[in-house]
A and B are shown apart, each in its own frame.
Chain A
């Protein structure tokens, strides 16, 4: 991963752009990972053709098997300081934040990531059942707001691809 980062950084950083400035790198796709995925064929890791790529520096969907601390340690191996921004998405179920203790622990997770020079982490707090219901019965879930990438949006207003994509993001529910 660090080799890929270095290759990307050295290929892009400081190259002149058309407006007299220079290019910098970002590791945040906003929603491009869905589009890029749609035009990329099957990959050796088992990803099928047309499926969204991972979001920014988040693990490939389903690949974070060792829990949030492992995800954070891996993401922090990237030198965030040399980028214009990075995106790490984590999704939690509401139970995790049901009380002050849970909220404190989430804050500790964020602070630890920042102490490792992590740049940006964002959370979705919903269960996938709710999202599936919302997809099926949008009128009942008009108020459901989710963080998509660099922004939040009404879930029911998203394209079906993006809706599926958010359902697929790994849920850390086994606490």
Chain B
């Protein structure tokens, strides 16, 4: 039986697509974005995360190997809520085109992360090339499946005028883009780095000011995109 490794199942998820959903977080992300908010999702193996409690430090294992049937059974508990939300894939887009072709016909919506358009900068900040990602986005946008593009707004990395203009231009040429979700940097993930014993490269970075987020929103809106802040 096919198995995978996940690190969280979030019920009543309100910010990962329309309606009330259950979000399953898979472990083993091929990217390692410098600003990653879920660093426990990068390593494809179970990991130890420490947590301080009143009675001292305790270690927890993050990552569960789970079979398809067991996972589907858990997700189906909230089946009635999905009548109004549907299903979606939230993805970095870094996958072999054959995999995209395999799952695309089964999807109702794709939430596709688009981070940095410049190839060199993309490699520098995420650890991988964006060539496959951009090709996959074109591939998906050429199908019937609607796509929402998600753009993390990371101060000094993704929120520059040039990068935003490039994203607007690239997305504007695609047909099935339903909208754009802007995800401003926040510091909630910082504590996870400590708990994993990793260095938080974004320590000291402040979230973008609301005025800047609004400015970027306007850029996308002038290109006739439906824009939401925070997904």
Residues of chain A whose beta carbon lies under 8 Å from any beta carbon of chain B: 66-70, 73, 96, 101-102, 105, 108-109, 111-112, 115-116, 172, 175
Contact = CB atoms under 8 A, between A and B. Distances in A.
Contact of B20 (A66, A70, A112): A112
B64 to A, nearest CB: 17
Contact of A112 (B11, B77, B81, B228): B81
B19 A69 contact: no
Contact of A68 (B12, B22, B80): B12
A73 B12 CA distance: 12
Given A108-B81, A112-B81, A115-B83, A175 B14 contact: yes
A69 B15 contact: no
Contacts, number: 40
Interface residues of B, number: 15
A112 B83 contact: yes
Given A101-B228, A108-B20, A69 B14 contact: no
A70 B20 CA distance: 12
Nearest to A109: B20
B12 A69 contact: yes
B135 interface: no
B83 A73 contact: no
Nearest to B15: A175
B11 A111 contact: no
